[in-house]
Structure 1
Amino acid sequence: MYSKRHYLAKNLLETEQKYFHQLRALERVNSSFRQNIKAYKSKSLIKENECQIIFFRIPDLTRNQNEIVKKLTLKLRDWSTDSTFTDIIWLIKENLKLYEEYINNYTRARMLLDHLIKTKQGDRLADLLKVSITETREKDIMVQDLLYKPVDRMTHHISVLDDIIRHTPSTHNDYDKLRSYQSEFWRVLATVNKGHVSKGTRKVQEKEIIKSGYVTEEISDTEKKLRYVILSNEMILCMKPTNMKKRELDVKWFIPLNNVNVQLRETKEQISMAKKTRMNQLDKEIVELNQEISKHSSEEKD
């Protein structure tokens, strides 16, 4: 597993560097527009407030991404079997709120940019929206495509974290902390997707939350546990509630869907009256917990 973890670390650095250069390219376009605003003022191709909407949080994302690349570069120089991903993933995790804000603004930014391109100065504007990145040898990339990179990054980081955990022994110093970070990533992704569904806007692509909710896991005939399960288009994730009021969850297990084999039974298993009674009781408890959470959320807003 050491060689695989080392490979994942090197691959992560490579992709993080590429992403950093893409953010830098967006910053250069942002700078060009702002120079145009200073030079032409009211006759500029784009207004100051429009520039702020289109390149919302890009400077912050670029600055934070630079820190991640620096940290990962230093770590790889002295990589060993005891090396950890924890500090790198922690840096990425600390930026989740920033990414959530960016993604919530993304549709607005794209709609504004598309509208500006259709204006009378659209041809002049289009010329500025095509960039090349020397460091990554990418040519004639449209700014519209670059603006989607931070949206894609959230799901990319979740995939990377899943791979790292999959190739980390449970006895490794990394394991427990990475599992705890994993639940935080999924929580933010679920929040973002839920918000986009309610607004009728675009979801975060690739790792799509298909369904999520509370279920009861039957440990034995006499023991049942409350769990929160997320079904995505790539895996089933089971989490244990640790603080219902704050909605804190710990990851219990996850199964990639390509490892799932469904076998249908020809005969239905009879459920005893005692089990039915217990299931009804658990359903009632779930409803009460959801009501308590809703009440607590309302009190916080007040």
Structure 2
Amino acid sequence: MRLAFMGSPDFAVPALHALHGAGHEIAAVYCQPPRPAGRGQKETPCPVHRAALALGLPVRSPARVRKDVAEHAAFAALDLDAAVVAAYGLILPKPMLEAPRRGCLNIHASLLPRWRGAAPIHAAILAGDAESGVTIMQMEEGLDTGPMLLKGAVPIGPRTTTPELHDALADLGARLILRALAEAPPPMPQPEAGVTYAAKLTKEDGRLDWVQEAAALDRRVRALNPWPGTFFRHGGEAIRVLAAEPAAGGGAPGTVLDEAATIACGSGALRLLRLQRPGRGPLPAADFLRGFPLPPGTLLG
């Protein structure tokens, strides 16, 4: 089948490899333009761009596509059977959605209609969902509103982190898109009940509010690392919390309860396991506390 692949981050790479390995003709790979990255702010291609180059595939990285008539024409000229989209990062306009003979198929990292939007993997862990999954969806102009072709579920355990769930869903998405192209299942409209939205995350979403219950803060730490990261403020610094777990204890929210960095929450307590100061490397809590003490009774911000 003659395809375009449209994706940018690591999540999309397994699907690109699967489509290439299955023998589909990939006429073009679309991804976000290179961005400044690292201390030197060197222009760096995204993961899909790098994977496409390694496979010898042609890459297009327009900064915008919604109103670019020339880009619409170039896309139509590819004469595609279908386009596969996975976390591309740009909104496709109607002329591009309708250009391929079988339209554009999206690999969405949730069990639609739950968690439409930008950050479905994080949202599922934050909410305490028992499972997540992947939906292969026929794209339309609405935000993740198109009819569904296939679904697959992945359980979320009590200690599941976003990186773990991300990788499981990326692999599942790669398998499901091959099935969707081969089997052409009939599209099913999304149910109107159960729609939720996963908003785009900001750094401030990572601030730990000790008034919340320990279970919710534990989910926040597991959901928001490595990005945007979770943190609290103390001594004029934003201290990153890279790993934590619920613990027994109680007291005024934000109070350090013991020498093991157990912090009282609105309900229960959270034990900090791995921490990082600005400009420093991450450390186990015991090592961190030797250089940055948090004595019992300390009130954290």
TM bin, normalised by shorter chain, reads: under 0.3
Q: What is the TM-score when the length of structure 2 is the normalising length?
A: 0.25
Structure with the larger strand share: 2
Larger Rg: 1
Per the normalisation by structure 1, the TM-score is 0.25
- Between Structure 1 and Structure 2, the one with more helix by share is 1
